[in-house]
A and B are shown apart, each in its own frame.
Chain A
Amino acid sequence: MLLEVLLALVLGAVVLLVLRRSKAAVLKTEDGWWGAGSPPAGAEDESIRPFQVETSREEIEDLQRRIDQTRPVPSLEDSQFNYGFNSTYLQKVAAYWRNEFDWSKQVDKLNQYPHFKTKIEGIDVHYVHVKPKNLPEGRTAVPLIMVHGWPGSFYEFYGILPLLTEPANADDVAFEVICPSIPGYGFSEAPRKKGFNSVCAARVFLKLMRRLGFGRFYAQGGDWGWQITTNMAQLDPTAVKGLHINFAPVENVGPLLILSILLGRRFPGLFGFTELDVKRLYPRVEKMLVEPLKETGYFHIQATKPDTAGRGLNDSPVGLAAYILEKFSTWTDHEFRNLEDGGLERKFSLEDLLTNVMIYWTTGSITSSMRFYKENFAKGFYPPHARIPVTVPTGVAAFPNELMHTPKLWAKQKNHKLKTYTTMARGGHFAAMEEPGLMAQDIQKFIKVVEGKK
């Protein structure tokens, strides 16, 4: 009896799926303008200007003064990172930041790759453009755009850039990489008008790639970068040769998904669930409701009151560091919540972590970065792009400690040309920064599958 019901349900689901697939639509978008006031008459300035990150004595002294003015509040006894960033450890980080961190040296490090700015839709878009130095004769570099998320930046990719542009292996693909900053983040100008969501960012980045002369290219992203690169593939499937993502949360809940959630524990084989899938998804209530609730407070306040949420963080560098670095701790491994130091320095160096924080601090972009959350949920949880599948070749790198786990079956619902799905050996949300080697390996694997098939 149960088997009959099951079969009927599965059949029904398959039929539905087939019907839905044939209705695949293309994502539409309109042009936009995000500068102050009204757009000026005449054509936009499309020049590409070289850009250097700079700092000054005043900037560093102001930072140090503010760190000195911190008013710490002791954490509750034995609370580790369960109430947020632990106060005792925060003082250690602040002391390092104040006395040992060398921002001038980090600025030089940032400038080791060429930076540029160009005006698109009324705002200055910043990006890093890295070309391979030693390309053998006859070979061309494969263009790749890598998009960061929140609270990250282009700097997250500095560890993986050399692995992609100068691969050690002779038969690995050499990439020419573009790392832009999402408008409102870091050195990219913030939109002045309401409504700048991921589809707008995708459109802006498509224009950027076109302006740089790339007709067809690959895209890689996690966190917001996943959403933006996915939108790029949906807006212009002919331009995006392949999409590699390390984050693939479910946007559309369909019958197959529900079925797999209900029965996946008892019958994992039916849905292709691996051991990791079962471990990450069950028990259901704890893994799919309680855990996400525990970790999405920031999301909720940023998606509703970003200007309030960011206000204090733009005056207090230590507050900003606590807010941002809490994510680098907890989203790398949830178990780090039980450590006095949040396990922060197990996978990252304080130098790298604070460089990322400095990008938010020196540009004063924390508030505009938070607004992106509100803009993306203005139309609710099912905007048009959530219902449209991705039809370009896609590769998913599923890191075991990612915030939300997506089994292969679920990834296939959205990405109809899933070419590779790799369960990675280790790593969390900030995959490119935490495990650049593993990530680069998977990108190579994905590219070879896509290029091999041509």
Chain B
Amino acid sequence: RQRLTEELDRPKLQLLALSSVGIGLTYFLVWRRKAKKSIPLGDGWWGHGQQTLRDDNKIYPFKVETSEDEINDLHRRIDQMRYTEPLEDCGFQYGFNSNYLQKVVSYWRNQFDWKKQVAKLNEYPHFKTNIEGLDVHFVHVRAPHRPGQKVLPLMLVHGWPGSFFEFYKILPLLTDTKDDLAFEVICPSIPGYGFSEAPHKQGFCSLDAARIFLKLMERLGFNKFYLQGGDWGSLITTNMAQMKPQCVSGLHLNMLAVTKRGVGMLLSLIIGPYLPFLVGFTREDVRRLFPYFEKNVYDLLMESGYMHIQGTKPDTAGCGLNDSPVGLAAYILEKFSTWTDRKNRDLEDGDLEKKYSLDDLLTNVMIYWTTRSIIPSMRFYKENFKTNPQNRVDARTGIFVPMGHAAFPNELMHCPLPWARWRFKDIRSYSYMPRGGHFAAFEEPRLLAEDFVKFVRKVEGKKR
């Protein structure tokens, strides 16, 4: 030993020490990058006044109900509608066309059967449970027991102006399958939407909704589960995966918002149309993204007025809509027309009934109407835009759970795979869907279900 230390004189020792530190540091940095980062859970309480000590963790069954009074009041208000003539030849360019609105309203008044729709809603079991001071509503659909079938837990989260009801067509496709894989599905309502109680305090954003939904899954006894979402549901499920990656088996999204702009994005926008393969774009990406200014800036400006007013003055924006069912229907259904296909803006009837039935569309509207939740639903925009969305902790943190993306051609924004990779570090499936828009589960339940199951099989297949 003495000979060793003699040979390693001071400079050599220093070099050895330095290189050890250097290697250690490099290894540490590399390992850190690969290590799964999560965002803090935080906590909150959203009830009236001061927080009560008593914490009720019970889960109560819930039934959607209606009454003669409720239906008569609705009819009375519909009858009181004060019609405004639309401009000549304007289609849906100025918003929901008044002429077509009269047809919708007439159906609503005379043919729509809310009692029948309520019975339809109650076909699946509903529950409520109190989390962080709020009654959180959810639908819980179990798979019928089939021998040899693996049943995986899954949470589906809706967005605005949707609801849990958007998933009613896809639920049987996921729960009642005939093959070896089925799902037990939880469809909650975001607090402030539909049958979930609205927060009474300021500041309730997607991070809080994510934490509440994680607590919900925990309360229901699920340690590991899949998540699927679009619109706000996409952000909330992403936050859930960031908060407790160890609980999330996989995350499937049908909408991806690009938050990290920068040189990379700029380069791909400049080079993309001409040499797409150089920046990782496919031909389909080019088709969907360009002309960039028209499709992504101009179109987005045209379509984001609602977001701007809801993100700043939600109480004002929703006030009239809570008294006028016709106004509420026009406001909500305009999105189901335009966000399904932007070309619908040029049509007199917005092609609303091409992909949806009036019964389904109005049932979704009724959920907002009967629960008076339009204003709280709009507040969610303001709460999420209070801090610069690009600086919030979740925007600066990656997502390390297995992810799958179904890119529908008529979605509001297209996110090519190279851009998705900036934040999602483990993308297992990326599919260009053949048709469909923003309300994917509602419009193309079969396509979405197929892609989701395909994603799950990939994840389950690779699992160890």
Contact = CB atoms under 8 A, between A and B. Distances in A.
A86 interface: yes
Contacts of B428: none
Interface string B305-319: 110111111111111
Nearest to B94: A307
Interface in B138-177: none
Given A83-B379, A194-B87, A297-B310, A307 B97 contact: yes
Nearest to A315: B324
B303 interface: yes
Contacts of B327: 311-316, 319
B312 A319 contact: no
A266 interface: no
A76 B82 CA distance: 31
B286 interface: no
A86 B317 CA distance: 12
Nearest to A365: B84
A371 B86 CA distance: 10
A87 B305 CA distance: 23
Given A86-B315, A305-B306, 15 more contacts: A73-B315, A77-B200, A83-B315, A84-B313, A84-B317, A194-B89, A301-B308, A311-B101, A315-B326, A316-B320, A316-B323, A319-B319, A364-B82, A371-B87, A371-B94
A114 B357 CA distance: 53
Interface of B: 73, 77, 80-82, 84-90, 94-98, 101, 199-202, 301-306, 308-324, 326-328, 330-331, 334, 372, 375-376, 379, 382
A69 B331 CA distance: 20
Given A305-B95, A312-B331, A319 B321 contact: yes
Contacts of B89: 194
A83 B315 CA distance: 6
A322 B324 contact: no
A440 interface: no
A16 to B, nearest CB: 27
B324 A194 contact: no
A315 B323 contact: yes
Interface string A79-97: 1000111110010000000
Interface string A310-328: 1111111011101100100
B203 to A, nearest CB: 9
Contact of A316 (B88, B310, B324): B324
A238 interface: no
Contacts, number: 188
B80 A73 contact: no
Contact of B95 (A85, A294, A307): A307
Contact of B316 (A69, A74, A326): A326
A314 B322 contact: no
A368 B326 CA distance: 17
A345 interface: no
23 contacts: A69-B77, A69-B323, A73-B375, A73-B376, A76-B379, A193-B87, A294-B312, A297-B310, A304-B95, A305-B94, A305-B306, A308-B95, A312-B321, A312-B331, A313-B327, A314-B82, A315-B81, A316-B322, A316-B327, A318-B323, A319-B319, A319-B327, A320-B320
A368 B306 contact: no
Nearest to A319: B320
A302 B308 CA distance: 11
A35 B311 CA distance: 37
Contact of B312 (A74, A295, A315): A295
A313 B320 CA distance: 5
Nearest to B321: A312
Interface in A286-307: 293-298, 300-307
Nearest to A303: B305
A309 interface: yes
Contacts of B318: 73
Contacts of A62: 80
Contact of A301 (B86, B88, B309, B379): B309
Given A77-B201, A297-B310, A301-B305, A312 B84 contact: no
A367 B94 CA distance: 10
Contacts of A301: 305-306, 308-309, 317
Given A84-B316, A307-B98, A311-B95, A71 B88 contact: no
Given A311-B326, A315-B326, A85 B305 contact: no
Nearest to B85: A192
Q: Which of A192, A293, A315 counts the most B-chain CB atoms under 10 A from its CB?
A: A315
Contacts of B86: 307
A75 interface: yes
B432 to A, nearest CB: 29
Nearest to B49: A77
A182 B95 CA distance: 22
A312 B314 contact: no
A79 B201 CA distance: 9
A70 interface: yes
A41 B101 CA distance: 33
B362 to A, nearest CB: 16
Nearest to A378: B93
Interface string A365-381: 00110010010000000
Nearest to A79: B202
Nearest to A312: B327
A316 B374 CA distance: 15
A98 to B, nearest CB: 14
Given A307-B94, A316-B327, A83 B314 contact: yes
B324 A311 contact: yes
Contacts of A70: 323
Contacts of A314: 82, 84, 324, 327
A306 B95 contact: yes
Nearest to B327: A312
A311 B305 contact: no
B330 A308 contact: yes
Nearest to A37: B88
Contacts of A300: 304-305, 308-309
Contacts of A364: 82, 84
A318 B319 CA distance: 8
B265 to A, nearest CB: 21
A171 interface: no
B334 A308 contact: yes
A218 to B, nearest CB: 33
Nearest to B310: A297
A308 B316 contact: no
Contacts of A293: 308, 312
Given A76-B379, A83-B315, A314-B82, A322 B304 contact: no
A279 interface: no
A137 interface: no
A78 interface: yes
